[in-house]
């Protein structure tokens, strides 16, 4: 169960960080001086880190 969830996170992680979804964020625009693509990477990355942490450390087996 736990492993299935982690595999799902991994698949979503790969999906979000590659073509074609990545293309929507791969622009030269910036937000408050920070490139959008960089913010996008950080957001997905942090999302994956948090989900992994939660899945592995919840008490349920």
Specify the DSSP class assigned to residue 18: S
Instruction: Tell me how far apart the alpha carbons of residues 46 and 23 are, in angstroms, rounded to a whole number.
Output: 19
Q: At what angle do helices 2-16 and 36-57 cross, to 10 degrees?
A: 180
Shortest CB 60 distance to other proteins, Å: 13
Which of 15, 24, 31, 53 binds other proteins (CB under 8 A)? It is 53
- The contact set with other proteins (CB under 8 A) reads 2-3, 6-7, 9-10, 13-14, 17-19, 22-23, 26-28, 33-35, 37-38, 41-42, 45-46, 48-50, 52-53, 56-57
């Amino acid at each position: 169960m736990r492993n299935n969830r982690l595999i799902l996170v991994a698949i979503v992680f790969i999906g979000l960080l590659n073509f074609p979804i990545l293309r929507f964020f791969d622009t030269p625009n910036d937000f408050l001086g920070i490139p959008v693509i960089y913010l996008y990477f950080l957001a997905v990355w942090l999302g994956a880190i948090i989900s992994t942490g939660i899945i592995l450390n919840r008490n349920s087996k």
